[in-house]
Structures are given as structure tokens and as C-alpha cells.
Structure 1
Amino acid sequence: MGTIVDATMPADQFALADTFAQLPDVECETVQLVANDDDSVAPFVWLSASDMDDVHEALEADSSTRDVERLLEKEDRSLYHVTWQARIRIVVYLLGVEDGTLLDARGENGRWELRILFPSHDSVSATYDICQQHGVDLTIHRVKGVVESIDRTGKELTDKQYEALAAGIESDYYHVPRGRSLEELANELDISHQALSERLRRGHRTLIQQTLK
């Protein structure tokens, strides 16, 4: 049936540690993460921050990147194609030794949140041991079956999206007129208004997509 694992890893053991340190409000969301025939990892990622010009410069200077190309620009975020240095490819390789598939990766505040699909619980344990042996601090937070990972709407909100949406309801952010501004709600959650805007938008998209099916 398969097992889905939610885990975290320090950015200094994976990717973009320099960028997160230089620009604390940066958020990175992986669009696609695959191993090509040449054994390179070439993901497409969305990056968002208050100043996207600073993000581009930080990405180019980051010790984990070898080449970056901005493909699409929007007001608050940009889509990049990034070629990573070898150590990132090594970590992805370790996660796949026991047939693990990296479904999603999100980075912010000096760490990465990973969602990985494994064929069995035994493969989860084996991958954890492999990471420990190679000095990779993979912290597993939740392990669940594939069926359990799908909620009533057919797709699960992330914990942060749920927290943001719930806080918006509780604080009357969605009322007309609004009981809280975006900035006030962000302060309550102790995150930037940019980060909150992204989480709400992703949460809205998940709920709308499932409602319209």
C-alpha cells in the first residue's frame, strides 16, 4: 500500500542554507524533484520573499547551487530552474536507496520539510539508518499509510496551511468587514505577511480544486 513520511532536515545539510541565513523571509517550494539519466537533480522551485531581486543574487551566490535560471516572475515570487551541487544529489540518492520517492520539499527558516513515499515501514527504518550513518539529520515527524494521508476533500492541507486558515477564521479575518488585517494576523502567527499570504493562497487553492472536482 505504501507509507508516507513527513520529515525535516537542516538546510545546511541539504540546500539553500546561505540563502535562508541571508534572507530570513525566503520560502522555497519544490515543483518537481527528479533524478535524470545523468544522475543529476534538477528541480523547478518557487521562491518567495519581500525582495525578489535579493533572492536572485543570494541564489547565485549560495554554496549549494551550481546554476540558477529564473523562468517566470510574479510580484511576490519567481519560478527557478536550479542545478544543485553534488551534496544535494547525494542526499536525494540516500533517500532513494530503499525506493523512497520525494513527493514534496519546502524550505524556510533554515530547514526543509520533506514528504517522502516509501514502499513499506521497513524501508522507512532502513532509510533513517542510512541517513544517520552518513551524518544526515533526518527527523521523522509523522508516518502514515497512503490512504490515511488523504482527507475528506481528497487532498491534505499542510499543517501550516491549516494553522493559517484556522487562525483566519478565529480572528474574523474572513468576515466583512475584516476583524483582522493580513499584517495583524501575520503578527499573531509570528511570521511575515508575505509568508502568511503564500500559505493562505496555497490552502485556498487546495480547497477550491477539491471542491470543483
Structure 2
Amino acid sequence: MREFVFALEYEPGTNPVADVLADHPDTTIRSLSCHVTSDSLWRVDHATGSEQALAELEAAYETADYFADCLVKDDCGADCEVQVLDRSNGTLVVYTYWERTNVCTSVPHVALEYLGEGLLFETYREGRRYRWRIVLGSDAPIHEFFDALGEEVGECTGIEMLRVTELDPDRNRPESEGELPDEQREALRAAVERGYYETPRRIELSDLADELDVPRSTLSYRLRRAEASLASTFVAEDASIETLTAPSETAGI
């Protein structure tokens, strides 16, 4: 088995849920389940955030021309059902179901067409970025799927491949702690070399993004994820050192 991780990034005005998340940076959405057949899609999402953000998210989910994950920018005529399962203590749990029309498509539907059945989907959304993780067979034609998906999302949505990893049954995650994906490592190296972390800065984020030929939001995301990973590794290693150097309870006995 392998995991394939990629991300979509929506331009303003192209996805109502992404617009709400962009307006409320502390709000996130993760999938609790996601299932697809050739004719339909249903899923349960778990959102956390302020009461105002959750109210706006609920309204976005219930928008008449919005169908969860449909890649068609306008109303595709699908028959959609939205039901709020929980709304309490900064949490919103939403169930969505829709039946396809001839013009409807989605990430899971393209995956079903190119990668076959038996797929596991996991998603996470923050800001305009929508990260997908698909667990699939080792011989699945990932690049054919990714090319087809790129054609479907069009120009209004950026798409980025993050990693393809063989799953190791002896570990819950395929990457060792502190190991950065190539895109994050390259972004961090460029930021250091060009003086982004100096005081005062020698280059601003927008200028660095232009030099690297990536959207500003994409570069910001890569740097934030790299910084978070490095910070977590530093704290873990620091705690280990403190444990090793702490005086023994039996010292002096």
C-alpha cells in the first residue's frame, strides 16, 4: 500500500468554504469519513473554530450551488442533502450527500475512475488550502490520476503534489519525525539564504514567492509547516536531553 498526499488551493470567490476559512485563520476542517460511488458522494466533516466562523461555515455548506468537493465552479444541478449532526462547544459536524449529474465530478470520483475501488480518503482544510491523503494500492497509476485531476480543477484552483510514500506496517506514519518533504525543505532553505528570517528582513514573502515561482499562500503554508515540524522536533529532543541530564533520585545514596 501507498499513501498519496496532495493539496488544492482555491482562489478567492471559487469555493465558499475556502472563503470562510480564509476569513477565519483559526478555523479548520477535517474529514471523519468520505465515501464515493460512481453516482454519488457522501461524507462527514468536523470543523472547529469560533461561533461566528462556524455559523458562516454552516451557511456555506447549505449554499444552493455548493456541493462538497464538486469541482464544477457553477451549479451542476446535483441533488444535494446537508445535515448538521452537531453544533456545540466550538464544533460543527456536517453530513453531506449528493448525486451526480452529467457535469458533476470531484476528487473522489476522479480517484475512483483512475485508481479503482478500495480507496481510503483523509482530508484537512485550513485557509484556502485543502490537503488530501489517499491510501491506495502500490500499483495504482498515480500520475495518470494527478494529470486528470489537474485538468478538472482548471485555472481557478492550484494543485500541488506533496508526497508519495510506501506505507510501513511497523509505523503509523511513513515519515520519521522531523523529516521535511522536499518542497518544505527547499522553501526553508531559500528563505534562509535570501534573508527572510533576518532582522530586518532582506526579502519579503511575496518577493520570495515570485523568485520561487509559487503562489504566496503556497510558500507561506510550506514555511509554516516546516517551522512547526522543526519546532516540535526541537522540543522533543530538548526534553530527551533534560531527561538524560536530570539528577538521579538515588544520587548521593
Post-superposition CA distance 1:155-187 (Å, at most 9, x none): 579986x73755766899xxxxxxxxxxxxxxx
The 8 Å contact of residues 24 and 127 in structure 2, kept in 1 or not, is answered as no
Q: Distance in 2 between matches of 1:146 and 1:171?
A: 29
Q: Which residue of 2 aligns with 1:112?
A: 130
1:143 corresponds to which of 150, 153, 164: 164
Q: Which residue of 2 aligns with 1:40?
A: 40
Task: Give the direction of change, closer, same or farther, for the CA distance of 1:151–1:10 in structure 2 (3 Å limit).
Answer: farther
Q: Distance in 2 between matches of 1:117 and 1:144?
A: 10
Gaps of 5+ in 2: 68-79, 181-224, 240-253
Q: Which residue of 1 aligns with 2:20?
A: 19
Post-superposition CA distance 1:174-211 (Å, at most 9, x none): xxxxxxxxxxxxxxxxxxxxxxxxxxxxxxxxxxxxxx
Gaps of 5+ in 1: 173-213
Task: Give the direction of change, closer, same or farther, for the CA distance of 1:62–1:135 in structure 2 (3 Å limit).
Answer: same
Report the TM-score when normalising by structure 2: 0.53
Task: Give the direction of change, closer, same or farther, for the CA distance of 1:72–1:24 in structure 2 (3 Å limit).
Answer: same
Task: Give the direction of change, closer, same or farther, for the CA distance of 1:53–1:151 in structure 2 (3 Å limit).
Answer: farther
Cα distance, 1:119 vs. partner? 2.1
Q: Distance in 1 between matches of 2:235 and 2:82?
A: 36
1:77 corresponds to which of 91, 115, 140: 91
From the CA coordinates, give the structure whose radius of gyration is larger.
2
DSSP-derived class of the 1:120 partner:
coil
Cα distance, 1:99 vs. partner? 2.1
Percent identity over the alignment is 17
Post-superposition CA distance 1:15-61 (Å, at most 9, x none): 82343244443211111110147x21110010111123333233323
Q: Which residue of 2 aligns with 1:61?
A: 63
Q: How does 1:1-213 map to 2 (within 5 A)?
A: 2-11=1-10, 16-36=17-37, 39-51=39-51, 52-61=54-63, 63-65=65-67, 66-83=80-97, 89-99=105-115, 101-120=119-138, 123-135=141-153, 137-147=158-168, 152=171, 154-155=172-173, 163=229, 165-166=232-233
Task: Give the direction of change, closer, same or farther, for the CA distance of 1:156–1:68 in structure 2 (3 Å limit).
Answer: farther
Task: Give the direction of change, closer, same or farther, for the CA distance of 1:11–1:83 in structure 2 (3 Å limit).
Answer: farther
Cα distance, 1:78 vs. partner? 1.8
Q: Count the aligned residue pairs.
A: 168
Q: Distance in 2 between matches of 1:43 and 1:88?
A: 16
The 8 Å contact of residues 14 and 91 in structure 1, kept in 2 or not, is answered as no
The 8 Å contact of residues 8 and 140 in structure 1, kept in 2 or not, is answered as yes
The 8 Å contact of residues 49 and 91 in structure 2, kept in 1 or not, is answered as yes
Cα distance, 1:82 vs. partner? 1.8
> What is the root-mean-square deviation in Å for CA atoms of aligned residues?
3.7
DSSP-derived class of the 1:94 partner:
helix
The 8 Å contact of residues 5 and 134 in structure 2, kept in 1 or not, is answered as yes
Post-superposition CA distance 1:42-93 (Å, at most 9, x none): 1001011112333323332374234421112331212111235857743321
Runs of 4+ in 1 over 6 A off after TM superposition: 156-159
